[in-house]
Amino acid sequence: MQQQNTPTFGIGTLAQRAGCQVQTVRYYEKIGLLPDATRNAGNQRRYHDATLRRLTFIRHARDFGFSVEAVRELLGMADHPDMPCDHADAIARRHLEEVEARLERLGALRDELQRMVAQCAGGRVDECRIVEVLSDHDQCLHTAAHGGQRAIR
Amino acid sequence: MQQQNTPTFGIGTLAQRAGCQVQTVRYYEKIGLLPDATRNAGNQRRYHDATLRRLTFIRHARDFGFSVEAVRELLGMADHPDMPCDHADAIARRHLEEVEARLERLGALRDELQRMVAQCAGGRVDECRIVEVLSDHDQCLHTAAHGGQRAIR
DNA sequence: ATTGAACCTATAGTGGCTTTAGGTCCTATG
DNA sequence: CATAGGACCTAAAGCCACTATAGGTTCAAT
């Protein structure tokens, strides 16, 4: 290991270089995405570039919308370059499918909202199309599976 | 009030008719979206149709993706039919804008994921396009505003 | 009288952080 | 060398909108 020789830096610098917050770094350490940092004499965390690369990987994966658990698996794979990448592929494909499903529901929601907003004439509440649609039993969204899982994401 | 004369029913029936869970009803009561229910001799909640209508309104608004706070405002307006509906309109328009913004980011994310997945040849991890994209500093998403708010929704 | 479903309250857990409170350490200046 | 103030430390609570769990009470049918 030549890590002993590389320059080290504090958590603030690390966070800034990775484009995230200091508390987030500590959080990732706590949940085990980042290894327990070495400390200086005053108990402050010291990092080298290897950790910056790992944190950058994490942030990229999170930017792509992968869950922390998926990131954990992807990191595990990145740590073993000689293994086959089927599983990374499967994780990415599944995530893509989820994103596509969300896109579809969100698109339908946009259409409904557009219709709703377009029909509001701007008068009194009791003539308001928005309040009316929300009140009406039979004006259900086809996107909303009643009794299934809720919340469009 | 003819509420004294209308038949009443329990929380299970209410939840079932509104298509939500019993705990959710109690939660809405606790946060003040639903009024404190009247109780029978054995301390169990008794409801009439007015509450069912209110709960249905809430569930519809939530299905449309309005936040609980937005629902609270919309309910307040629905309670005053003689007031102008500008504010309901504004809330709906703003929500529509947010949905459109999310759609855009999610669409860009789908494109990136599709590219990523398409380029994975299925070999070893160190040749894997997925791991590579996540590792690479310069392969940033244009959708991800580093330093801004995170998480694509 | 008994059974079992439906109800009750209070509390904790979800995800992925962010915020707060109350302290300690480091570094630059006087 | 003292001091100021910024960066760092931990632990715990807060966010959203519920959902789940534990441990008890009430209701309706037999």
Of A119, A111, A108, A98, the closest CA to residue A145 belongs to A108
Determine the distance in angstroms separating the CA of B26 from the nearest CA of chain A, rounded to an integer: 17
Q: Is A68 on the interface with B (CB under 8 A)?
A: no
Q: Please say if the pLDDT value at position B104 is more than 90.
A: yes
For residue range B18-34, list pLDDT tens digits in order: 999 999 999 999 999 99
For residue range A10-54, list pLDDT tens digits in order: 999 999 999 999 999 999 999 999 999 999 999 999 999 999 999
Contact A124 B88 (CB under 8 A): no
For residue range B49-97, list pLDDT tens digits in order: 999 999 999 999 999 999 999 999 999 999 999 999 999 999 999 999 9
- The sign of the torsion formed by the CA atoms of B58, B64, B66, B70 equals negative
What is the identity of the amino acid at A89?
D
Per-residue model confidence (pLDDT) at position A121: 82
What are the residue boundaries of the structural domains of chain A, listed by start?
A: 11-78, 86-135
Strands (E), chain B: 38-39, 45-46
Per-residue model confidence (pLDDT) at position A143: 45
Contact B60 A134 (CB under 8 A): yes
Indicate yes or no: strand D within 7 A of the C-beta of B34.
no
Of A99, A131, A152, the CB nearest to B113: A99
Cβ contacts of B114 on chain A, cutoff 8 Å? 96
CATH number of B11-64: 1.10.1660.10
Q: Please say if the pLDDT value at position A102 is more than 70.
A: yes
Q: Is B108 on the interface with A (CB under 8 A)?
A: no
**Residue B35 region by backbone torsions, left for phi larger than 0, else alpha for psi between -120 and 50, else beta:** beta
Confidence of residue A7 (pLDDT cuts 50, 70, 90): confident
Q: Is A108 on the interface with B (CB under 8 A)?
A: no
What is the identity of the amino acid at B28?
Y
A-B contacts at Cβ under 8 angstroms: 193
Indicate yes or no: strand C within 7 A of the C-beta of A151.
no
CATH number of A11-78: 1.10.1660.10
Q: Provide the 8-state DSSP code for A40.
A: -
